[in-house]
Amino acid sequence: MVIARSRRAAGPGNYLAIVVFAVVYLIVAAYWPRPLWVAGLYLIASLICFVLYATDKRRARNGSSRVPERTLLVWGFIGGWPGAIVAQQVLRHKTQKKSFREAFWATVVLNGGLFVALSSPAVDRLTTHAVQTFLTR
């Protein structure tokens, strides 16, 4: 008996990651307020990431040079992953290649973990101490 493997289709369930991150962001911000530029970074990186995915999709259809996957992953890692998820769903792009999906979700997890770690008071104290030490020398 041969069982055909279905290709993984993009699904709206991927939007759940954005909702979870928004909740985490609000909880972190309630305990450890973040500067407004942090939210701005996510918004701008997401817009850039969406445009990069759209450009890559257009180039793929036209047979011209593609946007490197590394570029898409780097922009996702620095905060553009919400825009990447929206682009993947809306454009139906970069949803089939397993190695890319795995790398993409790894960058999402790393970015979220880094966000929480860098938002903690311990990092603020370390940074303040390092700056004070540097200025008093």
pLDDT digits (tens, 9 = 90+) for 73-113: 999 999 999 999 999 999 988 888 899 999 999 999 999 99
Beta strands (DSSP E) in 7-104 are none
Tally of domains in the chain:
1
Which pair of structure tokens corresponds to residue 39? 């939210």
Q: Is residue 3 part of a domain?
A: no
Average pLDDT, the chain: 86
Q: Which of 3-7, 9-13, 96-100 has the lowest mean pLDDT?
A: 3-7
Q: Is residue 7 part of a domain?
A: no
Q: Is residue 77 part of a domain?
A: yes
Q: Is 76 helix (H, G, I), strand (E, B) or coil?
A: helix
Domain that holds residue 65: 12-135
Q: Is residue 117 part of a domain?
A: yes
Q: Is residue 129 part of a domain?
A: yes
| pLDDT at residue 2, rounded to an integer | 47
Q: Is residue 6 part of a domain?
A: no
> Residue 40 half-sphere exposure, CB side, CA atoms within 13 Å?
4
Q: Is residue 100 part of a domain?
A: yes
Residue 134's φ and ψ, nearest 5 degrees, are -65, -40
- Does 27 score more than 70 pLDDT? yes
Q: Is residue 1 part of a domain?
A: no
